[in-house]
């Protein structure tokens, strides 16, 4: 399975390490707003670093893990849903209830998890 991970901070690093050891993960593609942090994490985990979330989606991943800044969660969840990709997102989903409900509606409409 090819996994995209967006956000390589503390929590993203934890998820990247776990995913890189999972036997069913054949490819881990990561991106972060801080390229140096993404480069360092890629070196530690054997992941492939790409410059942006756009590039993560363009690589043809099978699912997305979102560990970016909370302010980006809802938009990234929506993008994953519109691309037909299952998504795991760290909490919270959005900064407020309307944003959370909108993101959940996109996932439901897309039929993704």
pLDDT score of 91: 96
pLDDT of residue 26: 98
Binning pLDDT at 50, 70 and 90, where does residue 28 land?
very high
- The 10s digit of each residue's pLDDT in 59-81 is 999 999 999 999 999 999 999 99
Taking residues 82-102, report their average pLDDT. Answer: 96
pLDDT at residue 43 greater than cutoff 90 = yes
User: CA–CA separation, 109 vs 111, rounded Å?
Assistant: 6
* Tokens of residue 99, six digits: 């944003």
Domain residue ranges in the chain:
2-110
In this prediction, residue 24 has a pLDDT band, given cuts at 50, 70 and 90, of very high
The residue-averaged pLDDT of 86-111 equals: 96
Please give the CATH superfamily to which domain 2-110 belongs: NAD(P)-binding Rossmann-like Domain (3.40.50.720)
Predicted confidence at residue 102, as pLDDT, reads: 96
Mean pLDDT of 42-49: 98
Question: Residue 12 — φ and ψ, nearest 5°?
Answer: -60, -40
Model's pTM, two decimal places? 0.95
Query: Measured between alpha carbons, how far is residue 10 from residues 4, 37, 52, 56, 111 in Å?
Result: 16, 10, 18, 19, 30
């Amino acid at each position: 399975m090819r996994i995209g991970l967006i956000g390589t901070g503390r929590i993203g690093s934890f998820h990247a390490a776990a995913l890189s050891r999972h036997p069913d993960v054949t490819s881990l593609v990561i991106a972060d707003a801080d390229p140096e942090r993404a480069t360092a994490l890629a070196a530690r985990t054997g992941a492939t670093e790409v410059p942006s979330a756009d590039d993560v989606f363009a690589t043809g991943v099978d699912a997305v893990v979102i560990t970016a800044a909370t302010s980006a969660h809802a938009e990234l969840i929506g993008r994953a849903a519109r691309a037909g990709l299952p998504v795991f997102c760290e909490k919270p989903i959005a900064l407020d209830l309307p944003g959370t409900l909108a993101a959940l509606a996109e996932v439901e409409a897309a039929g993704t998890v």
